[in-house]
Structure 1
């Protein structure tokens, strides 16, 4: 057994602090291990790193972190809820989310046209304006396409005031974004009021994501929360196997979640459980950090600043081959 190494208070980089935390206990160690695993992934020559993004991360102020991870190629594929992408578009158009409070009369907020996301506020009227902007854009898109293609078409047409956007960064960096439950968001609301000539075929999402997995020598996953993004990335291993391909399961896995496994939900289920499905390689380097992502993600991302390794995009799917 190795001894616990108490952390000394001294001037140090965040990366050095996390590496020290990896030698302590409880969730501090788990966060340190998450950093170590992310570093190991970045050292691999041929790996595709998937990120699953759920929860209200953009309203909570995590938007520029995800954009930075995309532009610096710390992730290769993003699978997100539609809500995070809508809120990203909201801010890209110049609107804001505001510091609020969870101790408030919500009916008074309703009367004032203010929407609450725990202790973050936003104006309903501004959301509606974004709905109409998106509806106008969507009305000009035609065809049957995956959510990735659909979001790329929106990115092409979006006149943004802030290019430090998840959607714009992904489009300019050739990082695909998938939203398999895109209708469950204000993007779905905007589509419902558009003169729609486009059909988003989420079965194409399954095919494209599986193709990326099949064409990857190795895969790693980083889950911020759980839900649909987590399951969608996980199930690509199963789909590939059913199609007759030899896949080994994700070989690196990080999850940051506040959910626990005892209640049977996917957001809290462990990677060990994923091994039983063949989604995670039994020898995978894996860690589950039980922590609010708005705490863990800023710390991890700032620790990555010192990682200078240049990564080459290796994502391959229909219509694209690097």
Structure 2
């Protein structure tokens, strides 16, 4: 039988039997299409967590919290499967909303939106929420901002203070904002103004408060994380601003004269496609041309709805990484030279 370099690795059709989620993922490494990509993403993430002196940054976009993903993200934070979160403001607003005991509701994408509007109900595809409750949260953020007073701070500093406030109000650990506050995981929100948190801060501004969220300080702080980390890996849920905000750190650092290799692990779960030319769907190969991703990086792009991928991947990692004592980075932000990073021994 004629063998060549292309036919060394036969597929192994997946069989059905009693097994754990991580064993299923291992079995899917020898099948095709996005099933294999999903399994490869688990393998890459697992390997990344075992690398020495590596900082894992996650980009979170899309309405993941209304869709029920907040406990998965807070688990990844608590277990230090991620070390830094860059999110849309909306996800963190919705997380704070639930942290204060309010809910999102199972709805239908076939509902009559005019009727929903009459009943004060907002729709996010097949999830419902109560507009009046959102407005209560907007005002709560405005009141909280007034308590902080007139400061200029990065979104990371603001989210830390918000985490502290939510703890004071009795919020549970399953909140993204609270778990990040408790476990020293920085949260950056580069488009904070484009969310209900921005709305709350605008209400405070109209009342005369001069609180300034310094977006350029955000760029500086997250670039310092990349400059001062041994290695970096990235995980993107969707694309959007969080993805590019993490990607551009490599460019900023190199312009500032730092010798950075590009992110060395890169995983993305996205439902966007590359051929429209947008950043959310663009491949990691394209990012290599910008110096954002290292040419030899382990790159896995999974074209999938993140609400399917995240629960499966998190369960597989839960099984694979349980008991692993990872040497996660410890950030201290007020050192004489700005950020200092030490890795746990």
Aligned residues: CA RMSD: 1.1
Once the two structures are TM-superposed, the CA of residue 155 in structure 1 deviates from its matched residue by: 1.5
1:243 aligns to 2:256 (yes or no) = yes
- CA deviation after TM superposition for structure 1 residue 315, in Å: 4.7
Using the TM superposition, give the Cα deviation of residue 45 of structure 1 relative to its aligned residue in structure 2, in angstroms: 1.5
Deviates more, 1:132-141 or 1:46-55: 132-141
Q: Distance in 2 between matches of 1:313 and 1:284?
A: 20
Structure 2 equivalent of residue 310 of structure 1: 325
Asked whether the 8 Å contact 2:226–2:249 carries over to 1, the reply is yes
Q: CA deviation at 1:297?
A: 0.3
**TM-superposed deviation, 1:197:** 3.3
Q: Deviations over 1:114-155 (max 9, x none)?
A: 000000000001101111111110111131110000111112
Q: Deviations over 1:9-28 (max 9, x none)?
A: 11111011111111100000
Partner of 2:120: 113
Structure 1 counterpart SS, 2:98: helix
Larger Rg: 2
- What residue is the counterpart of 2:300 in the other structure? 287
Which consecutive residues of structure 1, in runs of 5 or more, have no partner in the other structure? none
Shift of 1:317: 6.2
Q: Is 1:256 paired with 2:269?
A: yes
Match of residue 149 from structure 1: 157
Q: Runs of 4 or more off by more than 4 Å in structure 1?
A: none
- Tell me how far 1:312 sits from its aligned partner: 3.4
Q: Is the 8 A contact 1:211 1:317 kept in 2?
A: no
Partner of 1:127: 134
TM-score (normalised: structure 1): 0.98
Aligned mates of 1:172, 1:198 — CA distance in 2: 24
Give the alignment partner of residue 210 of structure 2, picking from 185, 197, 201.
197
Aligned residue in 2 for 1:44: 51
Gaps of 5+ in 2: 1-7
Mapped partners of 1:144, 1:193: distance in 2 = 17
Match of 2:72 in 1: 65
Equivalent position of 2:5 in the other structure: none
For residue 163 of structure 1, what is the aligned residue in structure 2?
173
Q: What are the Cα deviations for residues 77-105 of structure 1, in whole angstroms up to 9, with x where unaligned?
A: 00000000000000000000000000011
Moved more, 242-251 or 311-320: 311-320
- What number of residue pairs does the alignment pair up? 322
Cα distance between partner residues in 2 of 1:183 and 1:207: 18
**Contact 1:212/1:315 (8 A) holds in 2:** no
Look up the SS of the partner of 1:38 in the other structure. helix
